[in-house]
Amino acid sequence: MKKKRVLVTGGAGFLGSHLCERLLKLGNYVICTDNLFTGSEDNIRHLFHHPHFEFLCHDVISPLSVECDQIYNLACPASPRWYQKDPVYTMKTSFLGALNVLELARTTGARVLQASTSEVYGDPDCSPQPESYRGCVSAVGPRACYDEGKRAAETLFFDYRRQYGLDIKVIRIFNTYGPRMSMDDGRVVSNFIVQALKGEDITIYGSGAQSRSFCYVDDLVAGMNALMNSPGDFTGPVNIGNPEEISIKELAETVIRLTGSQSRLAFKELPVDDPRQRRPDIALAKRELGWSPVVRLEEGLKLTIDYFKRLINC
């Protein structure tokens, strides 16, 4: 088989770096681009000497010209702490980034995958959330730069398919965790693990009754790759996530138990527009991709805890 040239935007981020690894193991030539706004060279440094890996420091809001067969568009700040830090830039990354990779796909004939998000469902009125659910999203709240940015990107992808016949795929990613999460990204899993390992209070916003479903990064990347290589008439959007639901309070208690920490729970006011529930309906992924997650939450948390232990030397 001819080796594919695969472009991964946002490839130095948490998800992107794991995807680059998997693509290389599958025998592809990988071109990783990232402006390092939230990504880090540390995530991909071990790939620098790989003969089929290339890193380009580039911001996806500017056009890029490279020869490629497939494009994974992962470039965008994904945690509230970072995407709310510069909301205008977040919107520009979502929309202009999508526009630029779609134009590149038009030029090269590449298949292009958009990494969308479960945040397009907003604070849902149903659980679990199927792809047919249109969402309950505030267009003017502090999370809108990300939520609406991703919704606009999905619209652009499907308009490019209708108008230009582009070969597109759209994945909606639910909460994902694992090694290489940043210590300071403000995501709940990394927050809880770091606080527990340092013996600090575990910060819970609201009562902790709100629920999430957490997917280990290896499972997520496998689902993303399965969608990219699925038949061309299946575009998605398709949910990729773990349907096992857990409350935030239960997650905190599990992290405390697994780390052997003496940390206590500290409750603070719930942020504006924070979803009450997040759980994927993955029936479509099972049927069309033959995909479902295999890593259980405690197993994945142990692997993630081990990573953070090495990172903070404890």
* pLDDT by 10s per residue, the chain, length 314: 578 999 999 999 999 999 999 999 999 999 999 999 999 999 999 999 999 999 999 999 999 999 999 999 999 998 888 899 999 999 999 999 999 999 999 999 999 999 999 999 999 999 999 999 999 999 999 999 999 999 999 999 999 999 999 999 999 999 999 999 999 888 999 999 999 999 999 999 999 999 999 999 999 999 999 999 999 999 999 999 999 999 999 999 999 999 999 999 999 988 776 778 899 999 999 999 999 999 999 999 999 999 999 998 85
| Alpha-carbon 270 to chain mean position | 23
- At residue 1, the pLDDT reads 54
Query: How many domains does the chain contain in total?
Result: 1
Structural domain contains residue 249: no
Structural domain contains residue 50: yes
Structural domain contains residue 220: yes
Structural domain contains residue 82: yes
- At residue 185, the pLDDT reads 86
3-state class (DSSP) for residue 145: helix
CA angle 224/227/232 to nearest 5° reads: 150
Active site residue 146: yes
Instruction: Give the domain range for residue 226.
Output: 5-177+216-243+280-294
Give the tokens for residue 282.
């993955």
Structural domain contains residue 204: no
Tell me which residue has tokens 């056009």: 63
- At residue 113, the pLDDT reads 98
Backbone angles phi, psi at 114, to 5 degrees: -100, 125
pTM: 0.95
Structural domain contains residue 201: no
Using a 10 angstrom Cβ sphere, with 0-12 exposed, 13-18 middle and 19 or more buried, the burial of residue 268 is: exposed
Query: Using an 8 Å Cβ cutoff, are 168 and 160 in contact?
Result: yes
Structural domain contains residue 208: no
Q: Which of 72, 121, 146, 177 is catalytic?
A: 146
The domain that holds 84 is classified in CATH as 3.40.50.720
Using a 10 angstrom Cβ sphere, with 0-12 exposed, 13-18 middle and 19 or more buried, the burial of residue 140 is: exposed
Structural domain contains residue 113: yes
3-state class (DSSP) for residue 72: strand
